[in-house]
Amino acid sequence: MVVQPGLVDDLQWWLGSFDTTFIEWRRVGGPADRTRAALSWFWDRSEFRIIREALALPHFDWAEIVDCLLALGSGSSHEWTRELWVEVANASERLAERDAAAAAIVALYAFAAWEGALGEDLLNDPPDDGWYIFPLHVGRNLFAADAVWTSQFIVNRANEFLEYASIRLSGQHIRARSIPYTELAAHVARRIDEYVADLAWDLQVACGPEIPNFRAELAAMFWTLGDVPRAELLKDTREPVYKPSLQTLKELVAVSISRIPMDPFLQYIWLELKDRQPIDLRQHSALFALINNFYEGSSPVSLFEVWGGSLSKAYARILIASMRGPVADEDRVKLREAWSLFYEIIADRDPLSEFRLAGLCNLVLTDDAQQRTLIWHDLTRVASRLLATLTAESDFTPYHCCLMLPFYYLEDQSLESEVSAANALEHHRSGGLLYHLALVPPRVRTANEPMWNLLGEEATLLYALRGSHFVRLIPHLPRHYQVIETWGLPGSREEERPDNLLNDETAKQALRDTWTQLSDLWARMFEVEPDYAHRRKYPYADVEAFTEALTTDEISLDPSIAPTPP
Amino acid sequence: MGTVADLTVGALLYRVTRHTISALWIEPSKRRDHVAIGSVAAVLPKVEELHDELRDSMSVARGRLPRLREFASGWGRDLLPQSVLESPPDILVIVPHGFIHDIPLHLVARNDDAEPLGCASGVTYVSSQSLFARCVARNRARCRQFGELILPEQASPLNSSNSSLGRRLAGGGVDVLGGQHEKFSQIPELVAELIAKPSNLLNYDALTRSAVKNLLRDHPDILFLVAHGYVNPANHELSGLMLPEPNIAGFTSVQKRALVQQGELLFAFRDLPFAWAPPRMRSALHAELLTAAELEIDVNVETELVVLLACSAGYGRVVAGDKPASIAETMLRAGAASVLAPAWDSDYESARDWILAFFRSWIEYGYPKAIAFKHAMQRIRDLHGDTQPGRLGALTLRGDWL
Amino acid sequence: MNNANEEPVDIWGRLDDLDDAELAMLVEAAASVIADNTNEAGARIYLEMPPRPAGQILKSTLADAGVAVDDEEAAELVRDEVVTRQLAVHVLRSLAQQPVIAAEIEVAYRARQRMLVIDAGVISAAALLLLVLKLKRVKIGGVDVSFYDARQSALDSIRRMLGM
């Protein structure tokens, strides 16, 4: 039976995209001499003659390897001999002592043959014994070859599948047999932490006052991530110079790694460190592979070209230049043109990029100080609206502190300005708390039947809000939530497939509808209990409201008689 | 004897700009004052060094905390208005911003005799003005007029009118990493002895996700959990407490969630975790995470005070919206009126003594929580003097002060 | 973990039997004590140094001591779990011969054990190894503690591991 390739297709893609040894293998077409020798030695063994002859092994060319893996994985290649392939998988770990890259490829062949042999039965219950053998050898050998990202990928997939199986089948024995995966996952996680720490260490060294240094580049990274105070300190090269702590830089590296696949502006700042002193970014090969990758479609900006190059590259270079000193006139002209084009072509399709570009333009192009301040104030409102929208949509994309940027530029130092700035900051915070402030209502202060009925309606709508919030979270949850089981309850339609119930777009629309209904409900509450309605509709507490709350002794109803949600 | 209405309450709203730190000082009279605190260049490097020191459990264990001492008796004083140091209000609510989050301002020495601010003023922190207003509006302790809440004399036992606020305790302790369940369970058990009403403390192996959610659904006044925390660096909604997997095979408990596109129909899902605990080389129990997201979706937290003792509970990186991504803050956002959690690791005996002092003041004597916080700090200072600032200031109060 | 009412369990006599978590904590305690009691400015930097620079510095330090290792061997000395455990035990065993520093390390270890959170950490012997190799001595409570024996023990260990 021929089936579509599955995991092995993902594995070869990961390997050729994110792990340096194999990226290089793919790029030049063949492996290092040591790996060739190891592969030749392995497949020369008499016990594997059958496989060697059937598949014309060894393969050295990357394309040849991928073709063979995909053929094996689709079950179309040759007769499956389980015992022999188990022997291959087991022997691959001993091969790792000679050459880990060779061992990883050998283990991949065994894995692909197993996946192809099982076909559609791969994900059946109970898990095939091969789940405890083939992915584990692949994961271990990849780890030994320093291919941490692909190792992490296969370990996580195997672990998730086995965890889910252990839940469905009440299988403590499955859990016990999965322990090697947990241990390997811990090793991989620790290795990645070490790589992050290694790069952070080098970045700290590169923050010194000596020339060359990467102070401007790091300043640009912090600025792009919304940390303007640190960016300003790094801009300053007067002694004693500020060097971020190792922990701060570890967080910078960790946040960057998580954001780069979706954040071309940040990626291109990192790419400005490539092949330049004082540190050799390529030596941090595992992280470099992530930084240097091409993430197609990561955002509309990633495909935007200006002056024959990418907008992201222009953003990075101009921002870094601005961290060194005044920006050249030529770059100011380019930035102005880029902004016009961006606004015309992309604009609200990528609000974060628009926001950052507007911030950069204000920094570089606005010469009048008063005008610049007004624009920063405008941008605080944009940031707050954006955050509130993202929160209302239950968008779980981690924006970190990117939207905090303009708030650091509200620098007027008078009492009136301080209050105004505090209110602007709080407005932003309350946008991020929108969901929570809606979900957990204040206690009521009066008791009457119309209010009880309205509170009952509110409780139902809040329940709906939680449900839609949950559906939007599902893509971030473990496998057992990707394959939802619903149990019949009175009134539920058992013939419904889970897919229809758990559609992300439907959940987004449901959220919009629920927020509208809540808003309408709170408007109706004004006629019955205006104080409660006001606190629901306008949960944001400015300095005035906060001051009142400090010492308010307005009582709420005793909890024992207040209504509670269903 | 005075009443709660006689307490003076002030607040500090911090704000960081690209070069400066300032604060809005709201005096007990409600008069506002703009205070220039200092420069980012002078403060930020020291804040980073301080955080590094406090995250080093070995240094904290050995009491080798020179940077904390320098902070408390030196540059930390510059972060507070002179009037607050000289004449602190009975209650001080602090709203930090940016890198000011997680600075232990309650440890700043007020004067030459090095009395920390937290021994003179009941300090509570909150990350947002709106969140504070919501904590106040949800606090079940606020169903009495302040004038009815009498502040007892120091040596007097609980006044009967305060004692009618009898409180229920629920929770427990579990050490999924080290297996020291008895040690983790002991502190909530000691607190239970102070509570008049029967407590609902679970054995370590029963303290599962579903069980904790059920405890919360029962609306205890106090939720006391001693457990390891985990902060997810990529998505803080998936941070949470590490609790043991249920023994019952098959994860048969059910969680109902509404899917509004189907009208009013409720659907039952298996109550499975939103995230697994991070992979570890060794752990005493197989663990799962009770995440922030799960709390927000499945539970309405009506608890007056949540106490979280364990790592990663009280501090966390600041994320979108100037939100600290700590589990303590998660509990506030989920609906608790106040949260008590450590900002750094603490030795077991100090944590126990501190907690017992706090609860005696709050439960037995009926003081507002922030005043009980102050009493706890005074008690630990009396026991250890100022030689152990790490012990004195580890625990912080967040949310409403009452 | 010992109950507060019981005698503390001996650690120095059972170094080979300590589990990884206990050994990691003892190594951390030793490195912390040494770093705090030296006049060498910047000794604490070794406590937070990640594996790659630690390996590079170890390589040059060993070269100065007449032990030539390549990059891969240096990386193994700081990363390999079996190797780091062996090295940690050898160094600690030497330090245990000096009562003053042994007592100080034990105090630090016990204090760490009393903390609420005892993380099952990994053994990071690189910091301890570098401190012992680079510093000649420290002063603890007015008493000179020499690292000559600990240094020699570490070098002998490394030579044996690398088949020299």
pLDDT at B385: 72
Q: How far is A295 from chain B (nearest CA, A)?
A: 19
| Sequence spans of domains, chain C | 12-161
Based on the fold, state whether residues B66 and B118 are members of the same structural domain: yes
Instruction: Name which of A126, A102, A192 is nearest A155 in CA terms.
Output: A192
Which residue, among C27, C117, C131, would best test binding to B if mutated, counting the most B CBs under 10 Å from its CB?
C117
3-state secondary structure of A375: helix
Residues A341/A343/A344/A345 CA torsion (nearest 10 deg): 80
Query: Parallel, antiparallel, or unpaired: how do β-strands B287-291 and B266-270 relate?
Result: unpaired
Q: Is residue C67 scored above 80 in pLDDT?
A: yes
Q: Is residue A563 scored above 60 in pLDDT?
A: no
Based on the fold, state whether residues A160 and A28 are members of the same structural domain: yes
* Structural domains of chain A, count: 3
- Interval A244-273 mean pLDDT: 94
B183 contacts in chain C (CB < 8 Å): 1
Contact B311 C120 (CB under 8 A): no
Based on the fold, state whether residues A66 and A48 are members of the same structural domain: yes
Based on the fold, state whether residues A101 and A120 are members of the same structural domain: yes
Does residue A262 contact residue A397 with C-beta atoms inside 8 Å? Answer: yes
Structural domain span for residue A105: 7-177
Give me the sign of the Cα torsion angle A143, A149, A150, A152. Answer: positive
Tokens of C70: 């390549």
Instruction: Name which of A10, A20, A24, A12 is nearest A289 in CA terms.
Output: A20
Based on the fold, state whether residues B308 and B383 are members of the same structural domain: no
B261 contacts in chain A (CB < 8 Å): 501, 503, 506-507, 509-510
Based on the fold, state whether residues A59 and A173 are members of the same structural domain: yes
Contact A247 B51 (CB under 8 A): yes
Cα B36 to chain centroid distance, Å, stands at 28
CATH code of B356's domain: 3.40.50
Q: Is residue A149 scored above 50 in pLDDT?
A: yes
- Interval B128-142 mean pLDDT: 93
Q: Is residue B159 scored above 60 in pLDDT?
A: no
Query: Parallel, antiparallel, or unpaired: how do β-strands B338-342 and B305-309 relate?
Result: parallel
Which residue, among B48, B49, B57, B307, would best test binding to C if mutated, counting the most C CBs under 10 Å from its CB?
B57
Structural domain span for residue B21: 1-158+371-402
Does residue A61 contact residue A29 with C-beta atoms inside 8 Å? Answer: yes
Tell me how far apart the alpha carbons of residues B236 and B327 are, in angstroms, rounded to a whole number. Answer: 9
Based on the fold, state whether residues B58 and B207 are members of the same structural domain: no
Instruction: Name which of A153, A144, A193, A197 is nearest A17 in CA terms.
Output: A153
Q: Where are the alpha helices (DSSP H) in B262-400?
A: 292-298, 327-334, 348-359, 369-384, 389-392
Digit-coded pLDDT (tens) for B221-273: 999 999 988 888 778 888 889 999 887 655 667 777 776 655 556 677 778 88
Chain B residues with CB within 8 Å of chain C CB = 52, 57-64, 177-178, 180, 183, 226, 228, 280-283, 309-311, 342, 345-349, 351
Based on the fold, state whether residues B218 and B309 are members of the same structural domain: yes
C122 contacts in chain A (CB < 8 Å): 190
Q: What is the largest CA-CA distance in chain C?
A: 50
Q: How far is A310 from chain B (nearest CA, A)?
A: 27
Based on the fold, state whether residues A469 and A524 are members of the same structural domain: yes
Mean pLDDT of chain B: 87
Does residue A87 contact residue A137 with C-beta atoms inside 8 Å? Answer: no
- Lowest mean pLDDT across A64-68, B118-122, B326-330: B326-330
Based on the fold, state whether residues A455 and A380 are members of the same structural domain: no
Digit-coded pLDDT (tens) for B185-208: 999 999 999 887 889 999 999 999
Contact B345 C108 (CB under 8 A): no
Element holding B68 (H helix, E strand):
helix B66-73
In the beta sheet, which residues pair with residue A63? none
Each as own residue / partner, the long-range contacts of residues A158-161 (CB below 8 Å, 24 or more positions apart, any chain) are A158/A131, A159/A185, A159/B279, A160/A478, A160/A479, A161/A123, A161/A127, A161/A131, A161/A479
**Backbone angles phi and psi of A458, in degrees to 5:** -60, -45
In the beta sheet, which residues pair with residue B256? B268
Tokens of A26: 């793919």
Query: How many Cβ atoms are within 10 Å of C117's Cβ, its own excluded?
Result: 20
Question: Which ipTM score applies to this complex?
Answer: 0.94
- Lowest mean pLDDT across A458-472, B121-135, C51-65: A458-472
| Domain-located, residue A161 | yes
| Domain-located, residue A332 | no
Based on the fold, state whether residues A16 and A102 are members of the same structural domain: yes
pLDDT at A491: 41
Chain C residues with CB within 8 Å of chain B CB = 1, 20-21, 28-29, 32, 36, 48, 107-108, 111-112, 114-120, 122
| Domain-located, residue A462 | yes
Based on the fold, state whether residues B153 and B163 are members of the same structural domain: no
A86-125 core/surface letters (b: 16 or more CB in 10 A; e: else): bbbbebbbebbeebbbbbbbbbbbbbbbbbbbbeeebeee
- Interval B176-182 mean pLDDT: 88
DSSP for B357-393, please give it: HHHIIIIIS---HHHHHHHHHHHHHHHHGGG-HHHHS
Q: Is residue A378 scored above 90 in pLDDT?
A: yes
Contact B280 A513 (CB under 8 A): no
- Of the candidates B26, B41, B321, which has its C-beta nearest A429's C-beta? B321
A190 contacts in chain C (CB < 8 Å): 122
- pLDDT grade for B215, boundaries at 50, 70 and 90: very high
Give me the sign of the Cα torsion angle A486, A487, A490, A493. Answer: positive
Q: How far is A194 from chain C (nearest CA, A)?
A: 6
Instruction: Name which of C98, C80, C109 is nearest C150 in CA terms.
Output: C98
Tell me how far apart the alpha carbons of residues A556 and A26 are, in angstroms, rounded to a whole number. Answer: 68
Q: Is residue C19 scored above 70 in pLDDT?
A: yes
pLDDT at B262: 53
- Of the candidates C1, C32, C117, which has its C-beta nearest B62's C-beta? C32
Based on the fold, state whether residues A419 and A469 are members of the same structural domain: no
| Domain-located, residue A103 | yes
| Domain-located, residue A390 | yes
Q: Quick one: DSSP state of residue A209?
A: S
- pLDDT grade for A5, boundaries at 50, 70 and 90: very low
Based on the fold, state whether residues A380 and A460 are members of the same structural domain: no
Give this prediction's pTM: 0.94
Those residues with Cβ within 8 angstroms of residue C124's Cβ, 6 or more apart along the chain or in another chain: C24, C27, C28, C84
Q: Is residue A256 scored above 60 in pLDDT?
A: yes
* Structural domains of chain B, count: 2
Digit-coded pLDDT (tens) for B287-303: 889 998 999 888 889 99
Distances (CA, A) of A3 to A67, A116, A117, A134, B141: 15, 7, 10, 19, 64
Q: Quick one: DSSP state of residue B221?
A: S
Does residue A422 contact residue B23 with C-beta atoms inside 8 Å? Answer: no
- Interval A279-296 mean pLDDT: 92
Does residue A99 contact residue A38 with C-beta atoms inside 8 Å? Answer: yes
- pLDDT grade for A187, boundaries at 50, 70 and 90: very high
Based on the fold, state whether residues A379 and A446 are members of the same structural domain: no
- pLDDT grade for C24, boundaries at 50, 70 and 90: very high
- Of the candidates C107, C111, C119, which has its C-beta nearest B177's C-beta? C119
- Of the candidates B60, B180, B281, which has its C-beta nearest C1's C-beta? B180
Digit-coded pLDDT (tens) for B306-350: 999 976 666 778 889 999 888 889 899 999 999 999 999 888 888
In the beta sheet, which residues pair with residue B360? none
Contact C1 B345 (CB under 8 A): no
Based on the fold, state whether residues A399 and A525 are members of the same structural domain: no
Based on the fold, state whether residues A455 and A503 are members of the same structural domain: yes
Does residue C99 contact residue C117 with C-beta atoms inside 8 Å? Answer: no
- Lowest mean pLDDT across A436-445, B150-159, C119-128: B150-159
Distances (CA, A) of C164 to B124, B154, C61, C68, C160: 62, 73, 17, 10, 6
Based on the fold, state whether residues B182 and B133 are members of the same structural domain: no
Digit-coded pLDDT (tens) for B346-402: 888 889 999 999 999 999 888 999 999 999 999 999 887 767 888 888 999 999 999
pLDDT at A59: 94
